[in-house]
Amino acid sequence: MFKAIAHNPFWKTYGLLLARIIMGGVFIMASYFKFQDINGTAMYISNVGFPIPLILAWVAAFFELTLGLAIIFGVWFSEAALLLGVYAIFLGFAFHGPSLWKGNRMEFGFFVDHFVMFAGLLYMAGHGVGNAWSLKKS
Give the other-Cβ count within 10 Å of 19's Cβ.
18
Distance, in Å, from the CA atom of 88 to the CA atom of 33, rounded to the nearest integer, reads 17
Closest by Cα among 115, 95, 117 to 107: 95
Tell me what the mean pLDDT of segment 25-44 comes to.
98
pLDDT of residue 53 exceeding 90, the answer is: yes
Of residues 17 and 61, more confidently modeled: 61
Average pLDDT, the chain: 91
Mean pLDDT, residues 97-118 = 90
Higher pLDDT, 47 or 6: 47
| Cβ atoms within 10 Å, residue 67 | 24
Confidence of residue 138 (pLDDT cuts 50, 70, 90): very low
Q: Angle 105-127/77-96 helices, nearest 10 degrees?
A: 170
Amino acid, res. 8: N
